[in-house]
Structures are given as C-alpha cells and as structure tokens.
Amino acid sequence: MPLSRAFREFGSGPPLVILHGLFGSARNWQSMAERLAGQYRVFACDLRNHGDSPWAATMSFAEMADDLEAFIDEKGLAPATVLGHSVGGKTAMLTALRHPDVLDALIVVDIAPVAYEEPFLAYIAAMQTADVGAGIKRGDIDAALAAAVPDAATRLFLLQNLEERAAGGFAWRLNLDAIAANMPALLDFPATEDLAYDGRALFVSGAASDYIGRVHHGAVWDRFPQAEFAVIDGSGHYPHVEQPDAFFERITLFLDSAYA
C-alpha cells in the first residue's frame, strides 16, 4: 500500500516533483526548488523513512515508485516532470518505466539503472552507535562518525538529519534500521530489461563523479531511448549543490525546450 509523503510546495506553472537521495530530505533541495519556482509548480518530497515522511519496514524501489505515482495522482499533477537524485533518481526511473502515463519528462541526477557498491552500511552503523543523548553536542556526534565517514562534507550532510529533542540531545530523522535492512535493494536496480520509457529524459552527472560513466550509457539507453546526457564541470555527486548555477541552467534548458 502506498505511503503518503511529506512535501514542500513552491511556485506555480507546470508541475515538477523533486526526489532527494539517500540520507537526504526535501529541505536539501529548497534553494533549487525556490529558483525553479519562478517557472514551475515545484513539489520537493521526502522519501519514506526520510525527513518528515512516514516510516515503514520496507522501502523497495517498487514501493517507492508506487508512493510517487500515488502522490502525483492525489495532487492531480499528471503528467508531471519528475527530477530525482541518487536513490530518488532510481525511484524516478522506475516510476517512469512502470507508470509512464504520470510523467511528462524525467530528470535523473548522478545515478544510473545499475547496481553500485558503497560503504553506506558502515555509515549507518556509526550513526546507530553514536551517542545522541542529553548533554551531547553536534560536534561530539561529528567526531563519533569520523572513523567510518572520514570525509567532512559527507559527515556534514549526514548530520543535517539530526533534530534536537526537547528533553535534550538529538534524534535522527531517518529510519536507520529500515534503511540498513533494505540496503542491498537500494544499491541495486530492479530487473527492467523488458520495460522502456519513451518520453524525454535528461541524465545529469558531476564531472568528478563516476556514478554515470560511458559504461552506463547502454543500460540507460536500453530503458530510456530518448535520454540526453549532461556533465556539470567542477562537481561530484551533488551538482545541484556544488555548481547550482550550471545545474539550474542545464535543467531549465531541457525543461524549456518542451514548451518552446
């Protein structure tokens, strides 16, 4: 059964739904959503087990695609452009493949319909064991994550999921147990060799990222035959954060071409 999802709405115009990546939330996309709101009615959504959306024991891509399809139907947005980053991008891809009638166009940010190997379980284990109770400061939690998450920018990103508790200390705005249990499926991509989305699709990657390389183009074109590729210089896995101007210009060029 599809879960409702928390969202933030901006602007007016053709509908555009944004899905964040693993360990993210809608508020990570607020600045970009506000820029896009000058031309589009933007919905930045929280995936299940993230942000303010409900928690569930399972979070397969099939379930999250159904969540998205139900959201678009509930809000009367079809057909909508869907933009998804990382795990949100995989959710957007599967939605396009399984529910093509609800999409007007697809934008996928730094992810391909393939399996990956990542140290995310180590991140989760560190977050689960870190002391977040009363008397603990954010800097203490940062230090506790450092061994498993040596990159300071990644730790800062993870720490954005902390919320202060009235009784003192913090709590994670993530269902860490469910994310860990579903990690094998989240790193993979469902078998979809017999499906194709014939609508417009843009795959955006960071020049310093290897999540979308030429080796992945075949898997993309097999499922998204109209796919275009764009590379954002000076960015890695988060081009919308690292190079927001270039990212905004490239996706609006793609979006505007549909209304020319």
Could you confirm whether 237 is annotated as catalytic?
yes
Give the mean pLDDT of the chain. 96
Would you state the pLDDT for residue 260? 39
Cα→Cα distances 130→42, 85, 148, 151, Å: 36, 27, 11, 17
Residues 20, 89: Cα–Cα separation, whole Å: 8
For 105, the token pair is 């166009």
Percentage of the chain lying above the pLDDT 70 cut: 99
> Which residue out of 25, 53, 86, 235 is catalytically annotated?
86
By residue count, the chain amounts to 260
Cα→Cα distances 204→13, 76, 85, 97, 207, Å: 23, 27, 9, 18, 10
Task: State mean pLDDT over 103-126.
Answer: 97
> Which residue out of 131, 140, 177, 256 is catalytically annotated?
177
Under DSSP, the state recorded for 169 is S
28-32's contacts with Cβ under 8 Å and 24+ in sequence apart are: 28/160, 28/241, 29/85, 29/240, 31/244, 32/240, 32/244, 32/247, 32/248
Could you confirm whether 86 is annotated as catalytic?
yes
Would you state the pLDDT for residue 167? 86
Residues 140, 155: Cα–Cα separation, whole Å: 12
Q: Could you write out the DSSP letters of every residue in 67-135?
A: HHHHHHHHTT--SEEEEEETHHHHHHHHHHHH-GGGEEEEEEES--SS-----HHHHHHHHHHS--STT
Domains of the chain with CATH codes: 7-114+189-257 (3.40.50.1820), 120-181 (no CATH)
- Label residue 49 left, alpha or beta by phi (over 0 means left) and psi (-120 to 50 means alpha): left
Give 202's strand partners: 107, 228
User: For the segment 25-35, what is each residue's pLDDT rounded down to a tens digit?
Assistant: 999 999 999 99
Residues 51, 86: Cα–Cα separation, whole Å: 16
User: For the segment 12-22, what is each residue's pLDDT rounded down to a tens digit?
Assistant: 999 999 999 99
User: For the segment 40-85, what is each residue's pLDDT rounded down to a tens digit?
Assistant: 999 999 999 999 999 999 999 999 999 999 999 999 999 999 999 9
Would you state the pLDDT for residue 258? 66
User: For the segment 145-187, what is each residue's pLDDT rounded down to a tens digit?
Assistant: 999 999 999 999 999 999 999 888 999 999 999 999 999 999 9
Does the pLDDT of residue 103 top 60, yes or no?
Answer: yes
User: Angle formed by the axes of helices 87-98 and 61-74, to 10°?
Assistant: 70
User: For the segment 133-146, what is each residue's pLDDT rounded down to a tens digit?
Assistant: 999 999 999 999 99
> Which residue out of 20, 85, 99, 237 is catalytically annotated?
237
Cα→Cα distances 79→72, 100, 136, 203, 238, Å: 8, 9, 47, 19, 27
Task: State mean pLDDT over 122-130.
Answer: 97
